[in-house]
Chain A
Amino acid sequence: MFYSEKNDKMLRFGDVVRGFACGKLLIEQPFVDGLPSVYRVEVCHRLAIVLSPCCAIRDGYLQLAPLQQVEPNWYLNSSWINDLTVINKPMEAREAVPPYKWDNMDPTERTRRVAMGKQYTLADYFVYAPNSLLGDYEISCQRTTHVQGHYAVDFRAIVCVKCPLVIKPEKFPIETKLLQLSKETRASLRDKLSYYYGKTPEEDAL
């Protein structure tokens, strides 16, 4: 079960929410010389995912990431088509690579990848399962159109929103909460996000 059958009356990590605009600041160059550069703010009013840990939801601060359509090229992997949520958990190398690429891969490289065992893939993304509240959309890959209900959250797109009505997890505008993850799915999101922030680069490994 991907979503909880019943929403709690509190805001939780991983919830799908509406009504919080996610803003993205785009600058042409950093302001290092003290002069204002050209910048642009893009605001999207789509649904968003709460990525603040539950205990950090207070004083109006919320970390959100917009819920976005999945990448069309993910359809290149035929083993993912029916259930894109497989990318939320570690998988074998063979499952992570489109079959025709895997078959044509250099044997040494294939062996190296197999030896890694089950690992995360597409480490920046977490996929949300279809739900009638999210709706379907069409997506095209290699001249084929698919009706898709999965959505994705891109950890690179996390933004901070400040809303004084978000006082604590139990005290927030309840009408903003649409969907709540099941306990198991929330654990998967927490694990993958922890990995995203916690992975140690090789040069820093002790």
Chain B
Amino acid sequence: MLHEAASGRIRINTMMSEKDRPNAYVATGDVAAEPRAESASRLVVYPIGPYEVVLEFTNAGEFQGVVEVRVNADFRSLRQKIESTRYHDVDEFYK
């Protein structure tokens, strides 16, 4: 399952192999859940309604605890969101 949290924040692939898990984090500037590549544990984000619960597991899959509960929201302004968006110009391919 590929879960994408609030736009522009963090993406975690929970189905990656054990070997690859430390690289499963794509840092996007979110300081709340930084990659912990050297750690023997991993963080998994579960969206629950308007919230996200960050859980910590060992690499063996043992539950360690709740690390954080946060609001699942994109705090960028509408202007920031629009300005960070462009579009793929593909009209020529569909004529």
Contact = CB atoms under 8 A, between A and B. Distances in A.
Interface of A: 71, 73-74, 76-77, 90-91, 93, 96-98, 101, 113, 116, 119-123, 191, 194-195, 198-200
A195 B93 contact: no
Interface residue SS majority, chain B: helix
Contacts of B88: 91, 93, 96-97, 113, 116, 119-121
Given A198-B82, A199-B82, A119 B87 contact: yes
B17 interface: no
Interface in B49-95: 78-79, 81-83, 85-88, 90-91, 93-95
B93 A120 contact: no
Nearest to B94: A73
Interface residues of B, number: 14
Contacts, number: 53
Nearest to A117: B86
Interface of A is mostly: mixed
A198 B86 CA distance: 11
Given A71-B94, A74-B94, A116 B86 contact: yes
Nearest to B83: A200
A146 B24 CA distance: 40
Given A122-B90, A194-B82, A198-B79, 11 more contacts: A76-B94, A90-B85, A93-B88, A97-B90, A113-B88, A116-B88, A122-B94, A123-B87, A191-B81, A194-B81, A200-B82
A48 B78 CA distance: 27
A144 to B, nearest CB: 16
